[in-house]
Amino acid sequence: MNRFKKWAQREYPLRFRLLALLPAGILFVFLIPYVLIMLGPRLDLALRLPAASLGIVNILAGALLIAIGLIYAFGSIGLQLFQAGGTPLPVMATHRLLATGVFKQCRNPMSFGTICLYLGISILVGSISSLLIVIIFSALLMLYIKAVEERELALRFGAEYAAYKAVTPFIIPRVAFRHKSDRGR
């Protein structure tokens, strides 16, 4: 892991970081949604699964989850690119621990956003197969974060990460609403 720590300290100009995100963007923004929208319903037909359509409920729930997902996923990517000098990709890791914005609400806002986005798409499409694909993808993502990413962050950021981890939820954001009397402080 020491070799990784040294490698992760390398700084890249913004244009290289943006270019590095293109393949990941194609996968996460186009390919996975394509699978959920086009292949999920076909798999439902092949497996003779019923449609999971509740009309307007699917539209409202799906749209809400997609909106939440976009806010968290793209909010976290923007912070990693512009405030932490890195990307979500391990090959161009961030140089600063982020604990502001969406990272103040949970330690993995990009994962939370991605899961919400894909759940929203699955609900909007009304496909049981798409929903199962999202659940499997989410479980694998959680396992990866726990087994690899958290250890790597602890190595790179040490006590700072341990303190952040102790007070910040893993995946489900803690959204605090301030009372009117708290705003002036």
Per-residue pLDDT tens over the stretch 71-122:
999 999 999 999 998 888 887 888 899 999 999 999 999 999 999 999 999 9
Residue 5: band (very low, low, confident or very high) from pLDDT cuts 50, 70, 90: low
CA–CA dist 64, 120 (Å, integer): 7
CATH code for position 156: 1.20.120
Provide the pLDDT for residue 166.
97
Torsion sign across C-alpha atoms 156, 112, 16, 14: negative
Answer whether 138's CB lies under 8 Å from 80's CB: no
Please give the residue that has the higher pLDDT: either 86 or 172.
172
Residue 70: band (very low, low, confident or very high) from pLDDT cuts 50, 70, 90: very high
Look at residue 185 and tell me if it is in a domain.
no
Residue 4: band (very low, low, confident or very high) from pLDDT cuts 50, 70, 90: low
Look at residue 183 and tell me if it is in a domain.
no
Q: Which domain holds residue 84?
A: 2-174
Number of neighbouring beta carbons within 10 Å of residue 112: 24
Look at residue 30 and tell me if it is in a domain.
yes
Considering its fold, how many domains does the chain have in total?
Answer: 1
Look at residue 179 and tell me if it is in a domain.
no
Residue 24 has pLDDT above 70, yes or no: yes
Look at residue 102 and tell me if it is in a domain.
yes
Look at residue 27 and tell me if it is in a domain.
yes
Structure confidence by residue, pLDDT tens digits, 143-156: 999 999 999 999 98
Look at residue 184 and tell me if it is in a domain.
no
CA–CA dist 185, 183 (Å, integer): 6
Q: Which residues have a Cβ under 8 Å from the Cβ of 42 and sit 6 or more positions away?
A: none
CA–CA dist 150, 107 (Å, integer): 10
Look at residue 180 and tell me if it is in a domain.
no
Provide the pLDDT for residue 160.
97
Q: Kindly report the average pLDDT of the chain as a whole number.
A: 90
Residue 67 has pLDDT above 60, yes or no: yes
